[in-house]
Amino acid sequence: MNQEPGGITAAEVTKSFARDGERVEVLKGVSLRIAAGELVAIVGPSGVGKSTLLHLLGGLERPSGGEIRHDATSLAGLNDQELARFRNRQVGFVFQFHHLLPEFSALENVMLPLRIRRLPTPEARDRAQLLLTRVGLAHRMRHRPGELSGGEQQRVALARALVGEPAVLLADEPTGNLDSRTGEEVFDLLRELNRERRLTCVLVTHNAALAERTERTLRMLDGRMVD
């Protein structure tokens, strides 16, 4: 039987940056294992490396040391072109600030990852329309981001992240720019999609109440995982 895709493993991952002529060590040997289909929160004070870790897990940056694997695939074994292809097909990203293209409609923003894959426009449009309907925006597809509320924009960003049917969704403070009620609605939607699609979800959040509603919470302090 084939293993369900979406498992993530990090082994002794380190990351350092040059800052003011010195090396700053952000991650100091992080190890973790996330099962396929799991909904996990990463919490901790500001500046402990949570967002950096998320970027590494998604292949947006490369670690200084250690190894990150998605199922049997080691990200270190991929060249830049292969890594970009991996991100486009296997990982969806949602951030605190949605990063929607302001000149595009909601529908066009969601279609974009599929157009990058060179899917035919009719197929990309159909898939984007289905997902926007699923996130409750069937009536807002033609609106541009500036015409949408903050919660609606984040729903568009979530649809865009999932339209390529990734195995993994990485979300960095996805409710941090929303009021509490709208943030809960977006989180509820994320959790529903996690269950429907058996989607592996890793959520960085400062919101303790939301973290408690995930299946497991990982805590970071000073660049390390703590019990």
Among candidates 137, 227, 214, which has minimal Cα distance to 171? 214
The domain locations on the chain are 8-226
CATH superfamily of 8-226: P-loop containing nucleotide triphosphate hydrolases (3.40.50.300)
Contact partners, residue 180, CB within 8 Å, separation at least 6 = none
Longest dimension (CA), the chain: 52
Contact partners, residue 48, CB within 8 Å, separation at least 6 = 220, 221, 222, 223
Walk along the chain (227 residues) and give the pLDDT tens digit of each residue: 345 677 899 999 999 988 777 888 889 999 999 999 999 999 988 888 899 999 999 999 999 999 999 998 999 989 999 998 898 888 998 887 778 999 999 999 999 989 888 889 999 999 999 889 988 889 999 999 999 988 888 889 989 998 988 999 999 888 777 778 878 888 888 888 888 888 899 999 888 888 888 999 999 998 888 86
pTM assigned to the model: 0.86
Give the separation between CA 83 and CA 61, rounded to whole angstroms: 10
Q: Evaluate whether 141 touches 132 at the Cβ level (below 8 Å).
A: yes
Give the separation between CA 135 and CA 140, rounded to whole angstroms: 11
Q: Evaluate whether 194 touches 92 at the Cβ level (below 8 Å).
A: no
Task: Please calculate the CA angle 85-88-94 and round it to the nearest 5 degrees.
Answer: 145
Q: How many residues does the chain have?
A: 227
